[in-house]
Structure 1
Amino acid sequence: MTATLEPVDTPGAPPTDQPRPRGFSLPKVRLRHRGGSPLASGIAVLWLSVIVLAPLAAILVASTGNGFAGFWDAVTAPAALASFRISIVVAAVVTVINSIMGTLIAWVLVRDEFPGKSVVNAVIDLPFALPTIVASIVLLALYGPGSPVGIHVQHTQIGVGVALAFVTLPFVVRAVQPVLMELDKDVEEAAASLGANGRTIFWRVILPALTPAILGGAGLAFSRAIGEFGSVILIGGGIPKETEVTSQYIRALIEQDSPVDAAAVSVVLLAVSFLVLLVLRGLSGRAAKRQELDR
């Protein structure tokens, strides 16, 4: 969107090329908004279509290669249902945990001062840069056989959850942190002056303001977790019906030369991820509107 400034004639105002007398105020201006450039809009739509819409359409078409009956058989196979259950349940649990812990970490990074704070702030982004297979190797060395901390969770759903928690934590922290930084402390001080304790201030003032950001970060974390592949390869082991997540099951189908079945399972995974994102974004939008109305 572009905006143009148009001066509104003010009776008695001197010309703009003459010095303003003392006490003279600038003439009022009116903002006139115009639509964006058609070329920019066309480029944006074209890029979105090539990068996102075309691949989605292709996988939808590929998933119906054996007809609806073949699609249904592929997504209701016992191994497929087991992988859906493991992926969705573990991703949901990890999302809830990281929503709580990510908010707490964001709070500490924003409100507390301690030595090494900048280092901790940088480490939060490490899962974004670290190759996921490297994360799996690190987690295996830490929580596999011969664990230096005495915790062995390889080939368990707990191990899968640890890997997913590692790669999804930054999504919540980075979603909550900027909102917390911009939070008006005057409201907290006003509540404290009225006799509210710290717990009441958090639940009645701070948390409602953070809710949209927490839900947005949770949606991104869940979508990443439900489709994660690299970080769970070694720590999870991909044991069918025990630790095999849907992304690993899809790879197994491709290796078995069943690309149509793999596409069908992928469509279900995409649908679940999209539905969760849609619901959480809707809740986030409602929370934001409610927060605006309360101001």
Structure 2
Amino acid sequence: MTTSSISPSTRLPAIPRPSIPWVITFGYLFLMLLLPVAALILKSLTLSPAEIWRIATSPMALSAYEVTFVTALFAGAINGLAGLIIAWVLIRYDFPAKRIVDSLIDLPFALPTAVAGLTLATVYSDTGWLGSLLAPFGIKVAFTRLGVFVAMLFISLPFVVRTVQPVLQEAEREIEEAAWSLGASQWQTFWRVVLPPIVPALLTGVALGFARAVGEYGSVVIVASNVPFKDLIAPVLIFQRLEQYDYAGATVIGTVMLLISLLMLLAINLLQAWGRRYGN
């Protein structure tokens, strides 16, 4: 059978060519995301497996991982609760200077991280406005791991608030009123009616805040003492390795951070998928 004898209805469909938006999308992702990540991993693979394991599992590196990820996880969890409450108040209540308060939520986005660290170190030092009030109780914030936690709280809060706000704003109040008319209490209405649709957005905000806290450097390096086995975080350790011209060691620690972050973000994405099924 020749090609000319094939009827138009039996011809195979032409393979669609990639459209310009798809080319731009994958090209940009390749240049801005995949290529740098691949370069980081390949640089670390120039070392022998034994050397990679020695650097990645050194006591100082393990301590830095623990301080970074555990502190960021606690900061994300606390901001998940606080951000939900703040978003609820901003959406459901009217009060004086509401627009000003709403604008202040975005301050960590606009404020340079070094300025944020300097501000937190000044406020929470032993002679600062808040630090002087906590010092008599033996609570020291600046230049401790608690200071790292406060800095991570500060820079990750907007992610939760801005992610939950639109979902709360679009929520139908009639459903809540129907639950009240059926005899549900305010707590039952919130737990069974209001919260399920918010859970995916809340988990997304927590994931974004956690990722932002893990990679924070500018504010933490100022508000912490950066002492190994005390409050040294992995990004600062990487910078210290670079200052010592230990590029291989810096890339190994960076690769470990990348892998741990991907695994934790994957776990949070699985929680988001569970939240969507629960909400539906």
* Aligned residue in 2 for 1:231: 219
Q: Does 1:58 align with 2:14?
A: no
Aligned-partner residue type, residue 168 of structure 1: S
Structure 1 gap ranges (5+): 1-34
* Aligned residue in 2 for 1:174: 162
* Aligned residue in 2 for 1:48: 29
Deviations 1:131-186 (A, max 9, x none): 00000000011001311232341221111100000000000001100000011111
Contact 2:199 2:279 in 1 (8 A): no
In 1, the alpha carbon distance for the partners of 2:62 and 2:17 equals 46
Match of 1:118 among 93, 99, 104: 99
Contact 1:159 1:236 in 2 (8 A): yes
Q: Note the C-alpha offset of 1:64.
A: 1.4
Say if 1:115 and 1:196 are closer, same or farther in 2 by CA, change over 3 A: same
Deviations 1:52-108 (A, max 9, x none): 000000000011121211111111001000000111111111111000000000000
* Aligned residue in 1 for 2:8: none
In 2, the alpha carbon distance for the partners of 1:63 and 1:53 equals 16
In 2, the alpha carbon distance for the partners of 1:290 and 1:100 equals 19
Structure 2 gap ranges (5+): 1-15, 135-139
Structure with the larger strand share: 1
Q: Does 1:211 align with 2:199?
A: yes
In 2, the alpha carbon distance for the partners of 1:236 and 1:213 equals 31
Match of 2:268 among 271, 280, 293: 280
* Aligned residue in 2 for 1:202: 190
Percentage of identical aligned residues: 38
* Aligned residue in 2 for 1:220: 208
TM-score normalised by L of structure 1: 0.85
* Aligned residue in 2 for 1:93: 74
Aligned-partner residue type, residue 45 of structure 2: T
Deviations 1:168-206 (A, max 9, x none): 000000110000001111111111000001011111111
Instruction: Specify the structure having the higher radius of gyration (Cα).
Output: 1
Structure with the larger helix share: 2
Q: Does 1:75 align with 2:60?
A: no
TM-score normalised by L of structure 2: 0.89
Match of 1:243 among 231, 234, 251: 231
> How many residues are aligned here?
258
Alignment of 1:242-281 (within 5 A): 242-281=230-269
